[in-house]
Every structure is written in structure tokens, then in C-alpha cells.
Structure 1
Amino acid sequence: MTTVPQREDRSGGLLVFLVVTFAVTWAIWMPILLQAQGPGLDAMPWTFFLASVGPLCGAVAASLWEGGARGLGAWARRAFSVRFRPVWWIAAIGMPVAYFLIAWITAALVAGAWPDPALFGVTDKLPGLAWPLVALVWVTTFGLGEESGWRGWLLPALTRRMSAFWAALVVAGVWIVWHLPAFFFNPTYTQMGAGVIGWMLALVCGSFLLAWMTVGAGGSIVPVLIWHAGFDLLTAADQSAGVIASTVSGIVMTQGVLCAWLLWRRRTVARTPALVGG
């Protein structure tokens, strides 16, 4: 009886991930960018949200490249596992709720009146949708699409080579560059001006926070997926521009600095065991 040799894992997954991730997202965003530079955008096309699948496609392609169907299955079982401590469910849901309460109280103090609850979560990128449907769109697009790649594949892949602290920093750099085309057509970014520096700092801090959550959840991205959707719901809403968005970002930056310190303390560990092997 002839024994079929097992397929050895191949190297080069990181390059495959980056190429596929950027190619998919930028290819979908490029027509939007060209239209914005020409006749302009009457409304944000649905393909804006579709482009969020880039990191997810990158994760699937890299997993298949490195380990075939076995590698893909291992990635999916780890990334979407719900076998983590209940505290991470509380963190995933509780943090956005806390952001909401603090931001709305702050906005009321600044403006002298409460924000209009009817406008909560509403964005002109998704006209006519109530906030529960807006939240569903965020969680199934930029939540699932991004986190499947950033924390689901890239962070674990990097922790095979470096500590979680440095891995989170590298992920933040890739994450920032990935957004580049959106700065030429997405009003959220085109109107930032010098505020882009604060946005980048907030994203770096967010990367540390989400890396800390992923490590704590044993490599599962379910908590960060929920968190990401809640954050987008709060900060991407039309009425959030200004006080609400800046308040939430300020809180996340504070949390991120704390999480960076916690990850820095464990940097002497060559690998993050909870994340390796996915």
C-alpha cells in the first residue's frame, strides 16, 4: 500500500496576503476614485462597502497558499471560534456602549442639548437605513471583511516572527496604507485636513487595543468584529462628525496606549502561543 506524503506548508503567505488584500480592495475602489475626480459622487456606491472584503480574500488566499484546505480550515476554526472567556463578550459589547454614553453626554455638555436620537448611527453612505440595519452592514462588511484579515490572519502570521507588540504596530502600518485610495473620494477622509495625523495615531492605538483583545480571546476575531462594527456605527454616523467622533477616538487612543504597554511587557516572549498555528 502506497502512502501519499502529506503536503508541507509553503512559505510566502505574507506576500500572498498583502498582494491579494490590496489588489481586491484597490481594484474595487479605483472606479469610485475616478468618478469622484470627474463628475463627482451623488452618493457612495455599494461597491465602497464591497471593497472591505479585501483583507478577507487575502486571509483565505494566504491560508490556502500556506496549508491548502487544511490550512484554510485551521484558520477558520481559530478566527471564528466562540470558545473564549465570557469577559470578551462583555468587552466587545460593553466598550461600544460605554463609548456611546460618554460621547453623548460630552456632546450634550458642549452643545447644550442632547443629540437627536433619531439620527443615531444614520449615515448618508447608507441612505434610508435605520441604525440596526446600518450596524448589520458595518459588521458584515468592514467588521468581517477587515478583521478576518488584519487580526484574523496578519496578526497571527506576524507573531510567528515577532512579539504581539511589534506585530500590532506592523498591522497598523499596513492598515493605514490600505485606506489610501479612500482619501481621494470618501468625505470622512477628504475633509480631515491636518486631522489625518490624529486619525493615524487613533488607528495605531486601535491596533494595539484590538491585538490585545485578539490575544485575550485566544486568536478569535469574534470580539473584535463586534467591537469594530460598534465603533464604525458610532463614529461614521453623520451627526458624529466633530464632538462624538473625537470623543470616541480619544477614549480608544487612551485604551490603546494602555494595551500597548501591556503588550510591551510581554514582548520578550518570542511568540504569542494563542495566535500561532492558525
Structure 2
Amino acid sequence: MKTRPPLFWFFGLAYALSWGFWIPEAVAAWGVPLPPALLQFLSGPFNPAAFGPLIAALALRLTFGGRKETLRWLRDSLHLRFNAIWLLPTLLLPLLIFGGGVLGSILMGATPLDRSILSNPPYALIGFLVILFTAGPFQEELGWRGYALPRLQRRFSPLGASLVVGVLWWLWHLPLVFIPGKFMTQDPLLFLALSLEFILVSILFTWIYNRTQGSVLATMLFHAAMNASIWVFLPSMTINATLLACTVLLLAIGVGVVLAGDKTAHLNSLRRLEKE
């Protein structure tokens, strides 16, 4: 029988690894003096904070499953063994939702129109690949969706598991609010409101994950498409209340459609999980 650590070990380790680097950076941003070498490291590209979920998942897999089990998990997670038709919602749904949210905010006069990236398609394509490997998908998805989500779906419905992951995924970003230029907002109240967006997006992530037979690679592509859509339509990566409201409305519509039409995802997921 396989030994599995309690799931809170993963969340605790992921938070400790990420917050352990982000909090000192936030403290320095608020004027607390740190050694120059440490400050340079924390503010540089080699700060490993964003890799917390990935490192936590790998560490627990290696410790409790060994090298062979970890390699098998990686192989099974990073697969494309699903109907290619699912690449359409994986790549286009974020574009419709987040691009539509920005468009609605522009039409309401809350967000300025910026065509700087839209006018350069090759740059946008290169940006997608950069985002895939350096701006969240690669660092996070093997943790949130590859490690935590399947375990939560053994205990809860896909919706319940999505809520748990969504809240903890949102809260994990908290220290970034206090580091200038690291997150979409430095307004704690707006960050609080963002919890709804994270939860709704988490439901869509679970839908993609279950419908692609547990492909974490598909969730990475979905995550990259989401971040790239925001970046293409909103190069400043700075949100406002109107933009958030428009995006949440579109997300709610998308989630409503998914929940209304997705009757078999939980059964399919359980059948796949029984094979692990």
C-alpha cells in the first residue's frame, strides 16, 4: 500500500517555500533594511519563490514514492492523451473571458486601450511561451492541479475540490500585493475581491483537468492562455474594480455553462484516480 502524507503537508510546504522568500522582499519594499546581497537576490530573476508549489509536490513525491513513482507521476501528468478538440477551450476560453473582460472595461471607460502587443502578433506568440515557463503555469500547476486536486477529488466533488484549491491558490499570492510591480494590484481590498475570480477560474481548471484525463499539461496551457490573454489586452497588468467585475461576470457565465453541462466529470475522474 502506498504511503501518502496528509495533504496539508503539501500546502504548508508550498506556502513556506514561497512566502519564505516573498515576505522578506515585501518587508524590504516597505523600508526595512536588508543586506544588499540578499535584497539583490530576492528582487532578481533567481528568486525561487514562485516554484513553491512545484518543489513541494516533487519533494513529497520523491520522499514518499521514490524516484520511479515520481517519474511515473510526471509522465502521467504531462500527457497529451486526450481528444485534440479540448485544445480549443483550453486555449480559447481564457482569451474570450479575460479579453472580453478588458474589452468591457474599455467600453465603460475604466481601462485605457493599449494596442502595443496586439499590433505585434509574433511578440505575443513568443510571450505565450515565456509565460508558460516563467510566469506561473510551469511553477504552479504540478502542485495545485497535479498534486492537490486529484487527492481532494477523492474526498470531495469536483466543485468542492475546486473551491479548496481556488481559495488556497488565491491566498498563496498575498505577499505579492505588498511588493511593487509583482502583482496585478497593491490594493488589499481589490485583492480580497479577487478571491471570487480565483475560485471561478479554479472551477474551470478542474473542468479542463478532468476532461483531459488528468492532463496537467492541459492545465498549464490553460494557465498560460489565461495569463497571456491578460497581458495581451492589458500590458500594464494592473486591474481595477470595473475590469474585475466584467471578468467575474464572464467567468460566472462560463462556470454556469460548465456546471450545467458537465454531468460525468466526477465519475470519470474517480475511475482515473483508481488506477493510480
Which category of TM-score, normalised to the shorter sequence, fits these structures?
A: 0.7 to 0.9
Residue in structure 1 matching 2:198, options 193, 203, 208:
203
What is the correspondence of 1:24-173 to structure 2 with a 5 Å cutoff? 24-38=17-31, 45-47=43-45, 50-99=48-97, 102-103=100-101, 105-107=103-105, 109-111=107-109, 115-119=113-117, 131-141=124-134, 142-173=136-167
- The 3 A distance-change label for structure 1 pair 257 and 46 is farther
CA drift of 1:103 comes to 4.2
CA drift of 1:80 comes to 0.4
- The 3 A distance-change label for structure 1 pair 47 and 256 is farther
Partners of 2:246 and 2:61 in 1: how far apart? 38
CA drift of 1:185 comes to 1.9
Q: Which residue of 2 aligns with 1:185?
A: 179
CA drift of 1:214 comes to 0.2
Residue in structure 2 matching 1:16, options 4, 9, 32:
9
Residue in structure 1 matching 2:219, options 224, 230, 234:
224
- The 3 A distance-change label for structure 1 pair 244 and 270 is closer
Partners of 2:103 and 2:6 in 1: how far apart? 46
**Length, aligned pairs only:** 262
Verify the 8 A CA contact 2:99 2:229 in the aligned structure 1: no
Q: TM-score, normalised by structure 1?
A: 0.78
CA drift of 1:212 comes to 0.8
The RMSD of aligned alpha carbons is 3.5
Partners of 1:66 and 1:140 in 2: how far apart? 27
CA drift of 1:83 comes to 0.7
Partners of 2:177 and 2:222 in 1: how far apart? 24
- The 3 A distance-change label for structure 1 pair 112 and 176 is closer
- The 3 A distance-change label for structure 1 pair 113 and 64 is closer
Partners of 1:185 and 1:276 in 2: how far apart? 43
Partners of 1:112 and 1:252 in 2: how far apart? 19
Q: After alignment, is 107-116 or 227-236 more displaced?
A: 107-116
Partners of 1:17 and 1:92 in 2: how far apart? 26
CA drift of 1:77 comes to 1.6
Letter in 2 for 1:145: Q
Q: Which residue of 2 aligns with 1:273?
A: 271
Verify the 8 A CA contact 1:91 1:223 in the aligned structure 2: no
Residue in structure 2 matching 1:214, options 205, 209, 231:
209
Q: Which residue of 1 aligns with 2:253?
A: 254
Partners of 2:43 and 2:110 in 1: how far apart? 36
Q: Which residue of 1 aligns with 2:36?
A: none
Letter in 2 for 1:247: C
